């Protein structure tokens, strides 16, 4: 008698600011599942992905999480959702099944029922702030973010790191989702005379701001730095609006390594020559599904408590990140600092 499929619930937004990443998230998760099934599945069970749209709010994310657990009867959840939805999803599902959270986040997640595998604000910010101070002699920073958990806590971490390095925060501002008129923001930046604008704007919000910033003429004299601009957002911003723009990330699609070369080869074999652009947020689902596989195999169980204990103590068979081919589940990868050159990320430092 054939064993039943192992259902992995994939939670991603198809709308709202983060909906811009949905196509690459779906593709990356599907590729990971195909690779796992080709190797025999997870504990001998074929993997079946069940996708649910978390929408544009925390409430809709909770509704999707409840549906995927109660109606779809998934065995575990892998999610790429905004940070503000992470704990509500955990509270709603009450730890009944394993929950992996894949994208970069603010850090300091202490809930044992949530497995976070993305880079923390400190991991992404410290190399960038140090590089800006040493290579660009930057000491005056303006902090800008959307008004929710990830930017708020990341801005607090940035204030600490900037102060430790002898720099100064000369201005900061939180803005709501959907802001289209950036005149007030740009006016405050202009008056503050920063060397750098550090921003935490989610998905489509980053596109709108960076276009307005370039149109204002500020880009020639003020640097921009972000941990959350990737290939998808860059195409939206446009090549003419990226002057003096810098990014730190654990993944850029143009990085050459055995891991990424293998990932991209199979990604294009699976989805053709013009698929959804690979990027850090979408690719995090590839990491998450493979991480879950490694944890479940090592734990010989799908109980959340058993799986959590194997994080960092089990092998993850595939990754697109870093340069080491043998990695542990939840492994930390090098952080790359890149200058934006048109539609390309030109890596200028590895930390």
pTM of the model: 0.96
**pLDDT exceeds cutoff 50 at 1:** no
* pLDDT above 90 as % of the chain: 97
Instruction: Give the pLDDT confidence score for residue 187 in this predicted structure.
Output: 98
pLDDT digits (tens, 9 = 90+) for 275-309: 999 999 999 999 999 999 999 999 999 999 999 99
55 belongs to a structural domain: yes
**pLDDT exceeds cutoff 70 at 2:** no
**84 and 179 co-located in one domain:** no
Distance between CA atoms of residues 120 and 86, nearest Å: 14
pLDDT digits (tens, 9 = 90+) for 145-181: 999 999 999 999 999 999 999 999 999 999 999 999 9
Q: How many helices (H) and strands (E) does the chain have?
A: 11, 14
Instruction: Give the pLDDT confidence score for residue 61 in this predicted structure.
Output: 98
348 belongs to a structural domain: no
**Would you say how long the chain is, in residues?**
351
Q: What is the 3-state secondary structure (H, E, C) of 257-279?
A: CHHHHHHHHHHHHHHCCCCCCCC
Instruction: Give the pLDDT confidence score for residue 3 in this predicted structure.
Output: 77
Q: Is the dihedral angle over the CA atoms 78, 80, 82, 83 positive or is it negative?
A: positive
What is the mean pLDDT of the segment spanning 39-65?
A: 97
Range of the structural domain that residue 158 is part of: 121-249
- Boundary residue ending a domain (198, 222, 249): 249
**The total number of structural domains that make up the chain:** 2
Task: Determine contact, residues 155/211, Cβ cutoff 8 Å.
Answer: no
What is the mean pLDDT of the segment spanning 8-19?
A: 97
What's 10's domain CATH number? 3.40.50.2300
- Boundary residue ending a domain (249, 275, 297): 249
Name the H helices within the chain.
22-38, 58-70, 86-93, 121-135, 149-164, 183-192, 204-215, 231-237, 258-271, 280-299, 304-309
pLDDT digits (tens, 9 = 90+) for 307-341: 999 999 999 999 999 999 999 999 999 999 999 99
Helix axes 280-299, 22-38, angle to 10 degrees: 30
204 belongs to a structural domain: yes
Task: Determine contact, residues 13/19, Cβ cutoff 8 Å.
Answer: yes
Instruction: Give the pLDDT confidence score for residue 7 in this predicted structure.
Output: 98
Helix axes 183-192, 204-215, angle to 10 degrees: 60
């Amino acid at each position: 008698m054939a064993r039943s499929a192992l259902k992995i619930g994939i939670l991603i937004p198809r709308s709202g600011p983060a909906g811009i990443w949905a196509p690459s998230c779906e593709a990356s998760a599907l590729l990971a599942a195909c690779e796992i099934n080709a190797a025999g599945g997870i504990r001998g069970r074929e993997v079946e992905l069940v996708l649910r749209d978390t929408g544009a709010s925390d409430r809709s994310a909770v509704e999707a999480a409840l549906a995927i657990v109660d109606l779809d009867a998934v065995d575990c959840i892998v999610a790429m959702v905004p940070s503000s939805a992470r704990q509500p999803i955990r509270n709603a599902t009450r730890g009944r099944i394993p929950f992996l959270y894949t994208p970069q986040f603010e850090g300091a997640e202490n809930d044992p029922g949530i497995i976070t595998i993305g880079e923390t604000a400190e991991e992404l910010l410290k190399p960038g702030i140090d590089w800006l101070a040493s290579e660009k002699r930057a000491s005056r920073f303006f902090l800008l973010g959307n008004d929710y958990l990830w930017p708020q806590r990341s801005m607090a971490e940035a204030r600490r790191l900037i102060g430790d390095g002898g720099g100064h925060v000369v201005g900061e501002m939180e803005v709501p989702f959907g802001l289209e008129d950036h005149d007030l923001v740009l006016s405050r930046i202009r008056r503050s005379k920063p060397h750098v604008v550090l921003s935490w704007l989610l998905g489509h919000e980053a596109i709108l701001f960076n276009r307005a910033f370039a149109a204002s003429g500020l880009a020639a004299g003020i640097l921009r730095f972000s941990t959350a601009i990737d290939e998808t957002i860059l195409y939206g911003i446009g090549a003419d609006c990226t002057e003096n723009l810098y990014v730190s990330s654990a993944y850029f699609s143009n990085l050459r390594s055995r891991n990424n070369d293998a990932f991209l080869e199979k990604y294009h074999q699976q989805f053709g020559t013009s698929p959804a652009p690979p990027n850090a947020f979408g690719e995090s689902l590839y990491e998450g599904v493979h991480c879950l596989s490694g944890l479940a195999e090592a734990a010989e169980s799908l109980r959340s408590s058993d799986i959590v204990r194997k994080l960092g103590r089990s092998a993850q068979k595939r990754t697109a990140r870093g340069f080491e081919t043998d990695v542990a589940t939840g492994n930390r990868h090098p952080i790359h600092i890149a200058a934006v050159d048109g539609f390309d990320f030109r890596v200028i430092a590895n930390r």
